[in-house]
Amino acid sequence: MNNPITAVVSKEVKEVWLRKDYLLTLLLNTVIFLGVGYIFITQPTQNETIKKLFMELTFVIIPPFAMWILSFPFIQEKFGDEKLLRRFESLLTTPISLPKLWGGKIISVFFLSYPIIILVVMVFSFIWYFLAGLNPLVILSIPVWIMALVITPMIPMIYAAFSSWSILRFSHPRLMEALNFFAIGLSVLVFLSSGKIVESIASGHIVNWLIIIYSIIGIFLAASLVLLLIYKLDKENVTL
């Protein structure tokens, strides 16, 4: 018998991949962030250290932001719209548990939105090389690549997880989305106030191994919290 999560992921991903608007949206977002990257990279500066900091910034900040923008419609479609159209009623009557159903949908959101990370990173690499004469593959450290390709993409997914839980749990998800934004902003402020970012920038880098460790701990705690909320939310508690 197939794994129920795998079956949900396969169904959800295939439904979107077969649509023409998915590739169009992916291409459009890539073009938009191509322009954003061009603005960042062509900033006039003669200081090599500042240029390298700008390079780290473009790879660490912009790709996950692009992923968040791309994932937002999928969150609404796979949770909000299905709830509004009463499709969740039939899903809740199936033998699959709510956490597995939710997990399959969240994983599908990840598979559908992560390609923008690869595309934006590739575009930025070419722009930095051809416009600034700097090769990110040589200049950027291993922690920066880990942060750009693995850790920061988890931030939009944490947002997706909390948003989907709030959509299922409450009848006024807009309020919960506002609270999600507040929680994310508060977490960023706490992280910045620790002084580690400032110390890292003073050393000529935005990301180092210590920042990686703090980021992993933060993502682990956030993921643990949302998993706890989902497992405490059984099918009877879903607000339809």
pTM for this structure? 0.80
pLDDT value of position 85:
44
Domain ranges of the chain: 4-237
In angstroms, the Cα distances linking 158 to 12, 40, 188 are: 19, 27, 13
Segment 30-62, tens digit of pLDDT: 888 888 777 777 766 666 777 778 888 889 888
pLDDT value of position 193:
46
User: What's the rounded Cα separation, in Å, for the pair 158 and 139?
Assistant: 30
pLDDT in tens, the chain (240 residues): 457 788 888 888 888 887 778 888 888 888 888 887 777 777 666 667 777 788 888 898 889 988 988 888 888 777 765 554 455 555 556 667 778 888 888 999 999 999 999 999 999 998 888 888 888 998 898 999 999 999 999 988 988 888 888 777 776 555 555 555 655 665 555 555 444 554 555 455 678 888 889 889 888 988 898 888 888 876 555 555
